Amino acid sequence: MSRTLIRNVSAVLPGSTVLSNVLLENGKILDVAADTHASADELIDGSGLHLLPGVIDDQVHFREPGLTHKEDLSTASHACAAGGTTSFLEMPNTQPPAVTMEGVKAKEQLAADKSLVNYGFYIGATPDNVEELRKATDVPGIKIFIGSSTGNLLVDSQEALERIFAETTLPLCAHCEDEATVRANAERLSGTTDIADHSRIRDHKAAVIATKRAIDLATRHKHRFHVLHVSTADELDLLRDTAPYLTAEICLHHVFFNVDDYPRLGSRIQMNPSIKTAADNAGLWQGLLDGTIQVIATDHAPHTLEEKAQPYPQSPSGLPAVENSLALMLNQVVAGKCSLQQVASWMSDAPARVWGIIGKGRIEAGYDADLVLVDLDESRTVRDEEQHTKTKWSPWHGETLTGWPVTTMVGGSVVWSKQSGFNESHRGAKLRFDHSRGGYWNTPDGIGT
């Protein structure tokens, strides 16, 4: 039996922030209001700090297997730990793609050997693997690329989509950009080398058409569906009053960057879906605040700077973000634009509920001790050379943020701290999923244990 007492800390609970002593035992939260002198094997002084549930990033591309010159599960999980992310859900478009349970299990084994934090892996849909998707179990859900993919992961035909929504039971999520619209825009702008044309090719219309199509499928088939990386304010009207089947998320690059940043950042902010306008930034932020959007994720998808430096359109889409996502949101808290409770909801509790991740997302007795201590007074400048991601760059390079993680715990063990660095002996665990609990709209009190 091992006990840790985090003493005199401001704990961010589901409904309040309280100055308390949080007692951990054998990897779980035993008490959120323990006695100051409770028996413990280890004491952590939380004076002046806030304790949040660890971030659950439900959309990452960690590139292993197949593209490990960009990232791998070891480097990515180090970046997670340093940024306060204690669990990730990784997408299937690796090489080979994870479109069978055998492929998913192979990735789980890689993570068991390499990852400092907890992990789960989506199974990917293809136009003809419905039987495999029907057999899939113990995964967060099924990922569909309705536009913007390569190989056999693009699922654009209505017949194939109808079968997936009708014949499978796992929660679904999708990249929503209309392939026909994107291709027509690309043909119209053929020959361009202007990076700003990326947002004209992958325009508002492409996003809205695909999102509307997916919402229609989900509501007709009564199938739980999560809209990934909403990029336009236009999509918000489609997403309002869509319980109990629909949830949605934004990624921070769609909130903090827009087309006016292309001259400064170029392909560093080239993403699919594309960066949109300042009005979209404002609309998406409002969508978070009013509850239309439930989840914040990163879509962490690194490429080397050499790859990014290729002239458009040879430059690939994608950017690294797991290392700075929590700090970006803490900076918003310090600026008075949102609360710590909202950040904990968007980045921890909501993704746990959407994907039925057992025992995660809250500071509550019985939940897993996946926690992050943060210092809201610390200011630090994001620098490329200090990033732990293998690609060693960030689109937020040079920006000074206030509010940073100082200690990250996974299963009650410190996996990273500002003072002592990484605990290289620790390995995260495979996440456990229970989809029978009904997802986000049916678990207002958390996913439980």
Annotated catalytic sites, by residue? 299
* H or E stretch covering 327: helix 325-334
Q: Is residue 345 exposed (0-12), middle (13-18) or buried (19+ Cβ within 10 Å)? A: buried
Under DSSP, is residue 83 helix (H, G, I), strand (E, B) or coil?
Answer: helix
Give 3-state DSSP helix, strand, coil % of the chain, rounded to 5: 35, 25, 40
Q: What does the block give as tokens for 298?
A: 């990163």
d(CA 52, CA 326): 10
The residue to which tokens 């058409």 are assigned: 209
CB atoms within 10 A of CB 291: 9
CA angle, 410 then 412 then 413, to 5°: 70
- In terms of DSSP H, where are the helices of 40-129? 73-83, 101-114
* Pairing between β-strand 371-381 and β-strand 50-53 as defined by DSSP bridges: antiparallel
Under DSSP, is residue 45 helix (H, G, I), strand (E, B) or coil?
Answer: strand
d(CA 88, CA 93): 15
Residue 140: cis peptide before it, omega within 30 degrees of 0: no
The end-to-end CA distance of the chain, in Å, is 20
359 φ/ψ angles, rounded to the nearest 5 degrees = 75, 20
The side-by-side arrangement of strands in the sheet containing 118-121 is 55-60, 85-90, 118-121
Q: What does the block give as tokens for 134?
A: 């029907």
* Closest to 376 in 3D by CA, of 88, 4, 9: 9
CB distance 225 to 215 below 8 Å:
yes
Output the CA–CA distances (angstroms, integers) from residue 223 to 144, 178, 226, 246, in the order listed. Answer: 14, 21, 10, 8
